[in-house]
Amino acid sequence: MQLYCYQIAKSRCERVDGVSPVKVGRGGSVLQYAGGPSTHRTQHVAFTIPDSHIPQEVLYDQNFPIQEPAESKKAPPKRYTNSDHPMREWQGYDGKAGFREEYLLELLRRNGDPIFQCDSCPLGLLVCKSCCLKLHSSLPLHVVREWNGEQFTKTTLRELGLRVQIGHFDGSECICPERAGRTFTVLDINGIHEVDVDYCSCDRREGATRRQQLLRFGWYPATPLHPRMCATLTLLDQFHALTHAGKVSAYDYYRYLNTMMDA
């Protein structure tokens, strides 16, 4: 029995001598894949094949063609909408509603019910209670309406829990607030308002008295000592102009303010 070493390239089989018999099993021949003059790089693999299994044409015919192995067809990869297009599943497609509306409702629930609307703000947006108080921390004389399920009813920022901090012009809270009293009335061009006022008693007031803090805030106190009523400087300017132009009396102007509160 002869030992043969074959170099199998792309299109033919050649016999090659000089293979160590150690690599050859008993009763078999060695086929070695090697690279020839072709530019294709092949892998060197030595394995044992019995002589009875090798056709004579392969053993002696160097021009015997070698067939390429057929490529196995791979199954197409599975498509998962959640991993391939996660936002498409969230938005909805092909008639499916998706989850956009559910997410929006839950976010609104977390932030609060938007049932308050300000008539004085230019946009008139619907906001929740906490946002309404935050937006009007420095605008305590705005007119706010609340949705009761059927219609909007007028309410006040005081009823929502707003307290006006006098003496701090950056909107910060005072570490030593001093209440102005149980009732405090402010007259503005849009009506008569009941507000809760806190004076500043910390070092940031720089020695300013209560009336000075009110004047710096734009409110004119009715009395110099322990004031409980103020009129805004804007209201005084408007009343002054109406008195000269239209001969409006103080009584008529006060009736006008009451009418604005009922509007």
pLDDT tens digit sequence for 114-139: 789 998 888 878 888 988 998 998 89
State residue 144 phi and psi, 5-degree precision. -115, 140
pLDDT single digits (tens) 229-244: 999 999 999 999 999 9
What pLDDT shows up at residue 49? 58
Asked if residue 178 and residue 118 are part of one domain, the reply reads no
Burial of 152 (0-12, 13-18, 19+ CB in 10 A): middle
Percent of the residues in the chain that have a pLDDT greater than 90, as a whole number: 34
What pLDDT shows up at residue 185? 96
In a domain, 71, yes or no: no
Out of 21, 43, 60, pick the residue that ends a domain: 60
In a domain, 20, yes or no: yes
- How many domains does the chain divide into? 3
What's the pTM?
0.56
What pLDDT shows up at residue 137? 87
Q: Domain span at residue 18?
A: 5-60
Q: Distance between CA 140 and CA 189 in Å, rounded?
A: 13
In a domain, 142, yes or no: yes
In a domain, 135, yes or no: yes
What pLDDT shows up at residue 59? 53
Q: Are 160 and 129 in contact (CB under 8 A)?
A: yes
Asked if residue 150 and residue 169 are part of one domain, the reply reads no
